[in-house]
Amino acid sequence: MSKHIFTGFGFGPIQAGLFANEAFQSGNFSRIVIAEIDQELVDVVRANNGSYYVNVAAADGIEVIKIAGVEILNPNVDKDRRLLIEALSCSTEIVTSLPSVSFYDTGDNSVASIISSGLQNSEAKAIIVYAAENDNHAAEILEEVIAEKINPSYLSKVQFLNTVIGKMSQVVSEPAEILENGLEPIAPNLEKAFLVEEFNRILVNRSCLPDFKPGIEVFIEKDDLLPFEEAKLYGHNVIHALLAYLGAFKGYSKMKEFKNDERIMKIAKDAFVNESGAALIMKYSHLNDELFTEAGADPLDVELHVIRLNDVVICTNPFELYLDYGLRIEARSKAALTLTSQLTAGRAGYLPTSKAVRGRGYSAEVYTVGPEGGQVLVDETVKKISQLWD
Check whether residue 311 and residue 259 sit in a common domain: no
Asked if residue 360 and residue 316 are part of one domain, the reply reads: yes
Cβ contact 43:11 at 8 Å: no
Name the more confident of 234 and 35: 35
Domain end point (choices 166, 198, 223): 223
Q: Are residues 147 and 184 in the same domain?
A: yes
Residues 67 and 31 placed together within one structural domain of the fold: yes
Q: H/E element holding 263?
A: helix 262-270
Query: In this model, does residue 168 exceed pLDDT 90?
Result: no
Q: Answer yes or no: do 9 and 89 share one domain.
A: yes
Q: Is 256 a residue whose pLDDT tops 90? A: no
The verdict on 142 and 283 lying in the same domain is: no
Q: What is the pLDDT of residue 295?
A: 63
Which of 2-11, 120-129, 192-201, 279-288 shows the lowest mean pLDDT across its residues?
A: 192-201
One domain, residues 132 and 171: yes
Give me the mean pLDDT over the 232-248 stretch: 91
pLDDT at 1 over 60: no
Contact of 222 with 203, CB cutoff 8 Å: yes
pLDDT the model gives residue 54:
97
For the chain, what is the mean pLDDT? 90
Task: Give the mean model confidence (pLDDT) for residues 162-186.
Answer: 92
Model confidence over 153-166: pLDDT tens digits?
999 999 999 999 88
- Model confidence at 356, pLDDT cuts 50, 70, 90, reads confident
Contact (Cβ atoms closer than 8 angstroms) between residue 105 and residue 112: yes
Q: Are residues 287 and 377 in the same domain?
A: no
**In terms of domains, do 140 and 239 share one?**
no
Quick one: 357 and 263 in the same domain?
no
* Average pLDDT for 79-83: 97
Same domain, 219 and 246: no
Who contacts 10 (Cβ-Cβ below 8 Å, separation ≥6)?
A: 35, 36, 96, 97, 98, 99
- H/E element, 373: helix 371-387
Name the domain boundary from 297, 316, 333.
Answer: 297
Range of the structural domain that residue 91 is part of: 4-223
**Domain end position, chosen among 264, 297, 330:** 297
pLDDT at 11 over 90: yes
Q: Read off the CATH number of the domain in which 176 is found.
A: 3.40.50.720
> For residue 103, is pLDDT > 90?
yes
pLDDT band of residue 362 (cuts 50, 70, 90) is: low
Please tell me the predicted confidence (pLDDT) of residue 292. 85
pLDDT digits (tens, 9 = 90+) for 188-211: 999 999 999 876 678 999 999 998
pLDDT in tens, 273-328: 889 988 999 999 888 887 887 766 666 778 899 999 999 999 999 999 888 899 99
Distance CA 54, CA 304 (A): 27
Q: How many domains does the chain have?
A: 3
For residues 126 and 191, state if they share a domain. yes
